[in-house]
Structure 1
Amino acid sequence: MTLLDDSDYDYCNYSRIYEEYFEDERFADIEFVLDCGSRIKAHRIILSANSIYFKNMLQGQWKEGSMETIQIKETNYMAFRAVVYYIYSGKLYDTNGFDILKQTFKLADMMMLENLSKLIIDELSDLINEENWYEFILLGWEFK
């Protein structure tokens, strides 16, 4: 069995057709509830078609595969929302700042979304300055 990551998916060609369904509750069949109480409704087929992580979660042997509501623990709402937006659009959601980008990067790494990680690195490189350069070094050490 070959492990795939998101580089095997061609977001430029087909993911953007799903963008109009982001946050559209019509036909939504899965709901994510974060620790803060915020909820994100989504479509299993779109998540599974565009992410090997969600394909494994929703169609594989994970317990979440049969659930309609999935608890997302210890995850920032804006970072998780940015990941879901990327899966629907192939674009980086405007996250407004280093901390959210860093948390989104951690999720992208965990979910094997290599192209999202690259987009975040490009965005982060524009934010580096004299006050935060050390945080970039720490982030680099964390993810080698």
Structure 2
Amino acid sequence: MTTSELIDDYFAILDIDHDKKISRDQVIELLRALGKAPTQQQEEAIMREVKEDLVGVEKIRQLYKKCEMKLPKDLYDDMFGVFTALDKEENGQIHEAELRQILSVLGRPLSNSEVEAIMRSATVSREGYVDYKEFADMLVKEYPPE
């Protein structure tokens, strides 16, 4: 399936009234669904460019091509570096509470429901620790390949 076909398919899912438009608020959601992971700064730049309340598929294609966004797999080293820096005991684990805090404040802060959804997929030990290599691997694999 080509990128253009993927964009069309994902766009159609969000276009619930079939008017060939999605709301401005759905643009970032659609780009993420296509496997992109824009930073907060990139999101802001995209939203400055999207001036209209309703957006057509052509605009999405332009934004997709124009915006150089890293895929989650490209962010792996950055994630791993943050986790390693917080690993005071150097045992490859961080406490679940620290992980929740990281997810809710660093980069593009996630909402409580987004953090909860991610944490449901994480393996937490009886002692309340998460193996951060396993966790980073899980996050990267959750996203579809480009």
Q: TM-score range by the shorter chain?
A: under 0.3
Larger Rg: 2
With normalisation by structure 2, the TM-score equals: 0.28
